[in-house]
Structure 1
Amino acid sequence: MELGMIGLGRMGAGMSRRLHRAGVRVVGYDPDIEARTRLAQEGIETVDRPEALVATLAPSRILWLMVPAGNTVDQVLETLAPLLAVGDLIVEGGNSYYRDTLRRAEKLQAQGLLFADVGVSGGLWGETHGYGLMVGSSPEAMTRLRPILERLAPAPDRGWVHAGPVGAGHFVKMVHNGIEYALMQAYAEGFGLLKAKAPFQLDLAAIAEAWRYGTIIRSFLLDLIADVLRENATLADVAPVVADSGEGRWTVQEAVDLGVPVDTIAAALFRRFASQDPEHYGDRLLAALRHAFGGHAVQRAGA
């Protein structure tokens, strides 16, 4: 069993190592020579060109992409597709928008190539504990992928799902990430409220650690919160700016299109937008309005 991995960043490298330890021959490619060198030093084959990657794998090939969503995926596919043979399988494992996935699949299938989209969750811990995998593919592609999925997942019989046809994997992962937005926001608000109760002098790190066991809100995210607060309870050196990588926006837009209420996910997304606003113009206008109609004092910037 063998697989070509394109994109050797943290997730791609971690997945490659997990498969390598499970006895899968992995050949990795990345334009970054340092990424290739790090993996090669661990005994995993790497090549310096897509052509070499295709040449070293026997038909029918499986090539798994772990590259940033967006134009990068299209660029890699434009380079890769002409090198492949009918029946080769391309797996797109990044956080792509499912509508882009449908477009790409149609084009590749017209060239006789199989295509599967796999939403991957697990982050830095997936290499050790296994990845959550959400697959969109034809039955034929699924049959070929199954041995790989069973080795990447926490166990052969759990942690992965054939969600449906092509596009379904990325759609399910999109909703998964929308839920993640809402869960993170709920934890953040709760701990913010705890911190605000100054007279109690609450030990937030100790509370997070206690909540990890026996409580109904225990989760992997809470485990991470406990780790963060144990190391840096004040978070004084962390800027209050939360990025959004696209999945939350797509989830909310899809909800609008389908007429499905996702109040909490939408609120979490908008809170991230607020954190990214360096001008806080809306808040400034609110302060000015309170002064205009009620004579309330306005705090001047820089004062």
Structure 2
Amino acid sequence: MELGLVGLGKMGGNMRERIRRAGHTVIGFDHNPDLADVHSLEELVGRLTGPRVVWIMVPAGAATQSTIDALGELLSPGDVVVDGGNSRWTDDEKHARELAEKGVGFVDCGVSGGVWGLENGYAIMYGGDAADVAKVQPVFDALKPEGEFGAVHAGRVGAGHFAKMVHNGIEYAMMQAFAEGWELLEAADSVTDVREVFRSWQEGTVIRSWLLDLAVRALDDDEHLTALRGYAQDSGEGRWTVEAALDHAVPLPAITASLFARFSSRQDDSPAMKMIAALRNQFGGHAVTAATGAEKGADAPGADVEPPVGG
């Protein structure tokens, strides 16, 4: 099939390549001309044959809204817009209503996989009407990991981003647990090789996981994380998860505590936050702040799905 893709940053660019490897045609647009296949949204839409599917991978908020507004003027009834960024689920409902007035369908899609998605595939959670989802299904199949799992039609419009939001909230709590355990091991005089303790957990334990593997990888790069400042950003999704818990009267003590722990990193050079920062850099390519205060690992400016979000 043909796909228009808007936003070719860390994730968008790799997604374009994975979809192409599956045999589909992808026409990409980005404000960075070095990344783009076309010079404008108008040219992108003009290159596609109907019914068109345009997938946007730009930052949540104003950038997403302006892109959807522009596409609403360019697309035709029967076309579909997919928002694969990290938009709030309540924005999805608004975007779907606006596009429906023009006869254009809307699908929201939470995407997880970070910088590893090109080779490993992306976990995708999408919401929308079945007819609209069907028009995008070949792309979902191309992006998902090999095997039975990794993709889900989560429900109505907004369900995909809501599911991804909860995923990121769980991710917060898991990273915080690893970080706190690492800090305690580092503080104990009797433990002489914390990195190898973490490595030993990779087999045979109930906490073995990809996050644990990434923690070991980070410690292999910098055994005591001395090159990092203990500062970690929090994503909009972490805050939205806690807000949704309040709205639904659902207790989230671990996820809420992990969000507030991120705030503590704004106040001092937290050792646990060094591990959080290292893990975010490992799985998502997110920029880290060196112990000297300089930022490392940031991508060049351009549209991207996750500045500064994890997951």
Q: TM-score surpassing 0.5?
A: yes
Paired AA for residue 185 in structure 1: Q
Corresponding residue number in structure 2 for 1:189: 180
Corresponding residue number in structure 2 for 1:30: 30
1:230 is aligned, of 197, 203, 220, to 220
State how many pairs are aligned.
270
Alignment of 1:146 with 2:137, yes or no, is: yes
Paired AA for residue 238 in structure 2: G
Corresponding residue number in structure 2 for 1:51: 42
Alignment partner of 1:90: what SS? strand
CA drift of 1:204 comes to 2.2
**Whole-angstrom distance in 2 between the partners of 1:101 and 1:91:** 10
Instruction: State the 4+ residue runs in structure 1 displaced beyond 4 angstroms.
Output: none
**Paired residues of 1:132 and 1:154 also in contact (CA < 8 A):** yes
Corresponding residue number in structure 2 for 1:102: 93
**Paired residues of 1:15 and 1:152 also in contact (CA < 8 A):** yes
CA drift of 1:279 comes to 11
Alignment partner of 2:258: what SS? helix
**Whole-angstrom distance in 2 between the partners of 1:197 and 1:277:** 24
Alignment partner of 2:108: what SS? strand
Paired AA for residue 184 in structure 1: M
Alignment partner of 2:35: what SS? helix
1:86 is aligned, of 71, 77, 86, to 77
**Whole-angstrom distance in 2 between the partners of 1:158 and 1:164:** 17
Higher helix share: 1
CA drift of 1:156 comes to 6.0
Q: Percent identity?
A: 45
Larger relative contact order (Cα-Cα within 8 Å, sequence gap ≥ 6): 2
**Paired residues of 1:204 and 1:229 also in contact (CA < 8 A):** no
Alignment partner of 1:198: what SS? coil
1:58-104 CA-partner distances (Å, limit 9, x unpaired): 01001000111111101111222101111110000011110111111
Paired AA for residue 199 in structure 1: S
**Whole-angstrom distance in 1 between the partners of 2:91 and 2:56:** 15
Paired AA for residue 19 in structure 1: I
Q: What's the Cα RMSD here? A: 1.4
Normalising by structure 1, report the TM-score. 0.87
1:215 is aligned, of 167, 186, 205, to 205
The residue correspondences of 1:174-185 to structure 2 (distance < 5 A) are 174-185=165-176
Corresponding residue number in structure 1 for 2:8: 8
Corresponding residue number in structure 2 for 1:70: 61
Corresponding residue number in structure 2 for 1:41: none
Paired AA for residue 94 in structure 2: R
Alignment of 1:240 with 2:236, yes or no, is: no
Alignment partner of 1:256: what SS? helix
**Paired residues of 1:243 and 1:272 also in contact (CA < 8 A):** yes
1:107-165 CA-partner distances (Å, limit 9, x unpaired): 11111100000000010111101100001010101211221111110126320000001
CA drift of 1:278 comes to 6.1
Corresponding residue number in structure 1 for 2:300: none
CA drift of 1:213 comes to 1.5
List alignment gaps of at least 5 residues for structure 2. 271-311
1:276-301 CA-partner distances (Å, limit 9, x unpaired): 23699xxxxxxxxxxxxxxxxxxxxx
Normalising by structure 2, report the TM-score. 0.84
Alignment of 1:120 with 2:93, yes or no, is: no
Alignment partner of 2:157: what SS? coil
Paired AA for residue 158 in structure 1: F
Corresponding residue number in structure 2 for 1:301: none
List alignment gaps of at least 5 residues for structure 1. 37-45, 281-303
1:156-200 CA-partner distances (Å, limit 9, x unpaired): 632000000100000111111000000000000011111111233
Change (3 A) 1:198 1:34: farther
**Whole-angstrom distance in 1 between the partners of 2:235 and 2:43:** 32
Is the radius of gyration larger for structure 1 or structure 2?
A: 1
**Paired residues of 1:150 and 1:157 also in contact (CA < 8 A):** no
